[in-house]
Structures are given as structure tokens and as C-alpha cells.
Structure 1
Amino acid sequence: MTAAVRPRIPAPAPADLAPVTAATLEEAYAANRANAGLAARMAAGHGDRRRAAADRALAAPSRRLLAFDGRGAGRAAEVFGDLAHADRVAVLVPGSDTSLDTYGRFRTAAAALHRALTRQAPAGTGTAVIAWLGYTTPATVSTTAITPDRADEAAPDLREFVRGLRGITGPDSRLTLLCHSYGSVVCGRAADGLDVDDLVLLGSPGTGADSAADLRTRARVWAARGGGDWVAEVPHTDVDLFGTTVGFGTDPVSPAFGARVFSAGDGGHSDYFRPGSACLANLARIVLGETSEVTHA
């Protein structure tokens, strides 16, 4: 039996914006909300209630959209906090099966981290979190989830996003990249020359690199895996099959990789940002630069 193919959902092209600065952030947010609203109306007219609801939620007046593209699986970058005045900024890069249709769970993780940062930040320290759905993620049960192809496509976009982010926050803000599951493959591919201070690999199947040093990044490289995460059972190897690389190499939490391994508790693959968890507390410490307070596995 042939699987049903979902009809293409009509959506407008992204808003045509000049490079965003701290002074034009609110204008960018408004333009992207308007674009999301138009995308919702087009999806509703097409009969896709699920996408229409997702787009409509993103168009709400309270949402801070740094980017939005309703075409295909969809892309978005949503800000939590005051980005223009943030001293500490975290960017979340999602793994498989994340799209505008499933965006709610990704947003929940970003919001949980921002609440933790707000609680733990020293007085006078501004924080912001960005949920970066900036690439077409693979399906968990698919051949694309075991090859680096989607990550190779995403890496240039992540580099460009970080460059643009530095134009908003300035060079003195501390920037942390938090990369979950297949998102860690994206971060591994983008790491060389990426202007970030900390690179965190969560529930990673590997990065495609043999070691943290091979990522060629100036950032401190961290890694964690929950005690109940199924990714521990994934073979950490990479092989060439007819010109295609399958697998992602060395386990990032292994001593051979050389990352700073920290405690993620006993949670599963989707629990790294669970409120009240040891992992979330450690992530907030890393973002805030309180590295001596991070608990280790």
C-alpha cells in the first residue's frame, strides 16, 4: 500500500525584511506575525485546520517572531524575553519530527528554559531564548534521520542566523546553542567558525565528528544524555554505503569524544527541558555562564 501524501499547503512567501537590528526588532516581529496570520487564512481556505490553528497561534499579538515561513513543513524563530537587551542568549535547535504542525512541544521547551533563566539569573542580567525551527527536520522513522543530508542543508542557515543574531545583541552578549537529538548533527555540521560561546549536545546520536576538537569550534562543548533516553541504544558509528554516510560517529557523552559531560538525570529523550529537572537547572547554569555550578554525570 502506498502511503498517502499530504497535499501541499498554500502559504505566502516570508516577509521581505532588511537585516534586523535591535532598533527594528518590534517591526520584524509585527511583520512576521502578519505573515503568519495570512498563512493561517490560506491554510484554512485550503481546509487544513491543523496548520491553520498552528499559524493562527503564531500570529497572536504576544508572539515575538524573528522569522516565519509557512511554506512546506514550515519554519519559524520565536523569541522569549527581551532580545535587544539580553546579556545571555540561548538558541534551541530541534531534532526529528519538528514542524509548524508539531511546534507546540518545541515552544514548550523554549519557554521552560526561559522561565528557568529568569529564576536563576543574577539581578540585572537580561536573558532571552530563541526557538529556532530553521530547517526541514527528518522524520524519526526514515532514512533521512540516519544520514547527515538534512543537517548539511541546515548548517549554512544556522550559521547565517547566528551572524544575524550577533547584529542584534552585539558582540558582548553570551550565546549558547542547545542542540537536541538530530539537531546536534545540525550543530556539528555548522560548528566550524560559528560565533557561539557554548555548544550543548542533548540526547545526541552523534555529530558526525570523531571528537569535540574535530568540530573546530572555539565554543566549550557540553554533552548530556538522560538515563531513560532510547538514543543510548543507537549504534555510534558511521559507514559509507554507496556514497552515502549512514550514522554519526562517536558518542558525544563518551570519554573518547572529549565533551564536558553533565548530569541530565533519569529522563527520557523528550525530557531535557522538563520543569524542575536536574537537566534544566544545569542548562540554565551553562547559559548563564555559571559553569562551576553545573553538576556532572
Structure 2
Amino acid sequence: MASRPRDSRLRRTLLAALVTASVVVPVSGAARPAAVPAPTPAVLAPLRAATPAALDERYAAGRQDIAAAERMAGEHGDRRRARALRAMAEPARHFLSFDGRDGGRTVEVFGDLSRAGTIAVLVPGSDTDLDTYERFRAGAVALEEELGDGAAVIAWLGYRTPGTVSPEVLTPGLARRAAPRLRAFIAELSAVKPAARTSLLCHSYGSVVCAEAAPDLRVADIVLYGSPGTGADTVGGLHTPAAVWAGRGTGDWIADVPHVRIRLPFLSVGFGTDPVAKEFGAHTFDAGTGGHSDYLKPRSVSLRNIARIVSGRNPAEEGRHA
């Protein structure tokens, strides 16, 4: 009985945040530039093998789609976007797929996927699109370098992410639409790399996407970091045989987000139990002192421990101050 006033305050806080976001987003959205047009990408056949020849063919198709989007951006007069796409189309970059429409969808590979026995798939959180992609890419690069030879990292920007200040970031709608795409990608990856140890790394709102997809994913680990919750009350609610890990940096503002879930008519707001809370039941790991965007920062405690999980090792084996 004593917890009711506190629960009521949390619900009011969350609802206030939703109302605030509903007011702020239309105002801030009005100031955003118009979307940069992009062509419809080529229809790609499923990847049948992860051989160097098959991957080179897929990477070449990705470069063609990026080059087409670059030309359209240039014709539209957006030199910044055209310049960014030109860099993406370089032969050293490896995209399994690319779609420049509606903020952008990309799947980029770091490392040699054909030889990888360990694979990490990164799923980003809010405010990730082609205009902010380099920030997402930097984390993938840092993780691939930390893992070393024999590993590959895949940056999966396979959905339209919500804005950090938006009503969508408080609801599972975008995650539910993204989940079938993530399931399809992991199934394709599992088919061509059945012996690889694959882990799913889910940042912020990306953890909601992973949770929605979890029942059908063939992965060894699901790693949640900077998570607002998953929509499940416990790990059991994810219905996954994967080991579920959770970590949060001591400087991450997400700790102040109310971990509640409110079911309203035609709408669910919030994502329930804090994944690092004991009652959720995840394996927890030391994520250091960083903030919300620092988990894959080079030489950080969080990066080191996430790499250990991906490699199948216990992060507790490495000292907290190592």
C-alpha cells in the first residue's frame, strides 16, 4: 500500500513527458529541412552464402544504390548529403543494403564477415538516421577494433528511429514495425553463418526493437544498454533462449526516466521494469561512468565488457577498474 503514491507520481511524470513531447515535436519539426529525396533501391535477392564472392556482389549492389542516392541528393541541391553519400560509396565501405528514403536504412559490415566466427549486430536508438549515421558508425568501428581478428560487427539501421523528444519514443509503435525486419535479417544472417556466435547489441530505444523481435531470434546474447525498458516485466517475458545482459553507465540520464508502463485506450506508454533492476532478471555488467552516448567509446569500461560478452566471456572476469 505504501508504494501507491510513488507509483502514481511516476505515472503522472510519464504522462506529463508525453504531453510535453506532443507539444514540442510539431514546433521543432517545423524548423527541420525538407526530406532529401532518394530513389527506390534495387530489389535484392536473399544472401545465399557468406563467401567473399557473394559478399562482394552484395557490397557492389549497395554501392550502386548509394551512388544513385548521391546523384539525386546533388540534383536536389543538398551538397552535404551528397558528400556524405559519396564517402559511403567508397570501395572500402561494405553495405549489405542501403535505402536513402525516409531518413535512411543501412546495413553496414565492419570486418571480414566471410571469416567471422563472432558477429555483433548493433541496433541503434533514437535520432539515428543518415544525417547522424557517423556517430552510430563510430561505435561499430570501435567495437570491431576491440574484438579483433575473427569477428565482424554489423551496424543495422533497419528502421525509422524516433526522435529523442517525440511522443513516439515513449511508445512501442516504431519498434513493433521494425521487429519483423530485424527478425528477417537475423534469419538471413543465421542461414549463411550458422556456426557463428551472434550477439544482438541494443542501445536505448533499440532495446525495445530487440525485445519485440526476441522470440524469433537465433542469437547467443541480447545486450541492453542505456535502455528505457523493453516492454516486458522480466527476462522471461522476452521469450528468448538467449542470455540477456543489461548495463547502464552512472552518467546516463536514462536512469531518471520512470520505468513504468501505462496502458491507455489504443496506446501503451512507457516500457516497464528497468532492465538493470534485480527483479528484471538480466545478467548485469559494469558499464562504467559514461553517459547515454558513450557505451561504445574507445577504451571505455563499457566497450571492454560488451566485447567480452560478444566473445562469449564473462565481463566479471575483468576488474571494474582495469
Shorter chain as denominator, the TM-score bin is over 0.9
* Unaligned residue ranges in structure 2 (runs of 5+): 1-25
Judge conservation of contact 2:301–2:320 (CA < 8 Å) in 1: no
Residue 134 of structure 1: aligned partner: 158
In 2, Cα distance between the equivalents of 1:294 and 1:174? Answer: 21
Distance (Å, rounded) in 2 between the aligned partners of 1:261 and 1:49: 44
Q: How far is the alpha carbon of 1:46 from its aligned partner?
A: 0.3
1:274 and 2:301 correspond: no
Tell me the CA shift for residue 50 of structure 1. 2.7
Q: 2:116 aligns with which of 86, 89, 103?
A: 86
Matched, 1:164 2:191: no
| Residue 45 of structure 2 corresponds to residue 15 of structure 1 | no
Task: Return structure 1 stretches of 4+ with deviation > 3 angstroms.
Answer: 294-297
Could you tell me how far 1:44 is from its partner in structure 2?
1.2
Gaps of 5+ in 1: 119-124
Look up the match of 1:222: 245
**Amino acid across the alignment from 1:59:** A
The normalised TM-score by structure 1 is 0.94
Mapping of 1:73-222 within 5 angstroms?
73-118=103-148, 126-169=150-193, 171-222=194-245
Could you tell me whether the CA contact under 8 Å between 1:282 and 1:295 is conserved in 2? no
SS of 1:128's partner is: strand
Q: Is residue 6 of structure 1 aligned with residue 33 of structure 2?
A: yes
Cα deviations by residue, 1:220-270 (Å, 9 ceiling, x for unpaired): 000000000000000000002232000000000000100000000110001
Distance 2:318 2:74 in 1: 46
Instruction: Give the CA RMSD over aligned residues.
Output: 1.6
Shift of 1:51: 2.0
Q: Which has the larger radius of gyration?
A: 2
Determine whether 1:239 maps to 2:262.
yes
Distance 2:102 2:282 in 1: 36
CA distance in 2, matches of 1:31, 1:193: 28
Give the distance between the partners of 2:80 and 2:188, measured in 1 at CA: 31
Aligned-partner residue type, residue 110 of structure 2: F
Distance 1:153 1:265 in 2: 32
**Contact between 2:95 and 2:106, CA under 8 Å: does it hold in 1?**
yes
How does the TM-score come out when normalised to structure 2? 0.87
> Hey, what's the Cα distance between the residues in 2 that align with 1:294 and 1:246?
37
For residue 294 of structure 1, report the CA deviation from its aligned partner.
5.3
**1:124-163 CA-partner distances (Å, limit 9, x unpaired):** x610000000000000000000000010000000000001
